[in-house]
Amino acid sequence: MLKKTMFHKYVAAGILTLSLGSSMAHAGGETLRVGADLAFPPFQFRDASGAPTGFEIDITNAICKEMKVNCEFVVSSFDAEIPSLLAKKVDFISPQGPTEKRRKVIDFSDFVFHIPTKLVVQKGSPLLPTPESLRGKHIAVQQGSIQETYANAYWQPKGVDVVAYADQDTIYQDLIAGRLDGALSPAVAVTFGFLNKPEGKNFTLTGPEVRDDKLFSIGSSFGLRKGDDKMKKLLNDGLAKIKADGTWEQIKIKYFGPLDISVKGAVSAPQ
């Protein structure tokens, strides 16, 4: 069984803060700290100069512009984002699924987008996203993600070796090196990131979308501290404005073309 040691070297590096204020914000405006990962292309990553960029970063900056505030991205590993929020190191965190477990400790904004979860494997692999197919196999998940929660709940007890990693980049590296049989990951990030790169040419998504009405959410939302009604209103009002004026759609097209990643059936995450 692979050892779950990959996470520790990332924690040891600490939390790095990068400033990226909205250029249109008032010079004397409030500065809000936003928890981000930057190891999750095309949603969050660094551009050639090392600055934060990606779909979620652009959406956040557009909302910050509407809120007339400066936004500063505080970069850490994904699973450190909620602890950072609770410790008041950040004011809100980048979108993630408002699962039942997460809603016990933090609140969420309205839904920002939806991404399905799927299994990525080598081309030609017979594996499918079922415990019967994956028994005895090494399957990666990102630490702290809904994919990890799902795999630990339904696959690990049935003999699947679920291996948690601090970020998606390390998962891709171990897939390429043959140390993993597959990875349960957000399909959009895999499709428009890893599979579009030369190193991902021998991999593909397989099987149906992996869903669970209890563990999964129909969309992703910004996370904020419980009772922070001012922040929730600012985020929801800003999000509504960029959806109404077409900014959200323009940013989506920039990264995903005509692919529909909108949330169906609801505006708000359950609280």
CB 165 within 8 A of CB 140: yes
Q: pLDDT 10s digit of each residue in the chain, 271 long? A: 444 444 343 333 334 444 444 333 333 478 999 999 998 889 999 999 999 999 999 999 999 999 999 999 999 999 999 999 999 999 999 999 998 889 999 999 999 999 889 999 999 999 999 999 999 999 999 999 999 999 999 999 999 999 999 999 999 999 999 999 999 999 998 998 999 999 999 999 999 999 887 788 889 999 999 999 999 999 999 999 999 999 999 999 999 998 889 987 667 766 6
Class of residue 193 by CB neighbours under 10 A (exposed 0-12, middle 13-18, buried 19+): buried
Residues in a beta bridge with 165: 142
Helices (H), the chain: 6-12, 55-67, 81-86, 100-103, 131-134, 146-154, 168-177, 187-192, 229-244, 247-256
pLDDT at 5: 41
How far apart are alpha carbons 33 and 17 in whole angstroms? 9
Neighbours of 209 (CB within 10 A): 13
For the purposes of burial, counting CB atoms within 10 Å of the CB of 86, is it exposed (0-12), middle (13-18) or buried (19 or more)?
middle
Please tell me the predicted confidence (pLDDT) of residue 4. Answer: 42
Name the token pair of 178.
């043959």
* Plot region of 9 (φ>0 → left; ψ -120 to 50 → alpha; else → beta): alpha
- pLDDT of res. 102: 93
Which three-class secondary structure state does DSSP give residue 267?
A: coil
Helices (H), 94-139: 100-103, 131-134
Determine contact, residues 142/171, Cβ cutoff 8 Å. Answer: yes
**For residue 270, what pLDDT is reported?**
64
Confidence at residue 172, expressed as pLDDT on a 0 to 100 scale? 97
pLDDT for residue 79: 92
CA atoms of 6 and 39, how far apart (whole Å) = 14
What residues does 99 pair with on adjacent strands? none
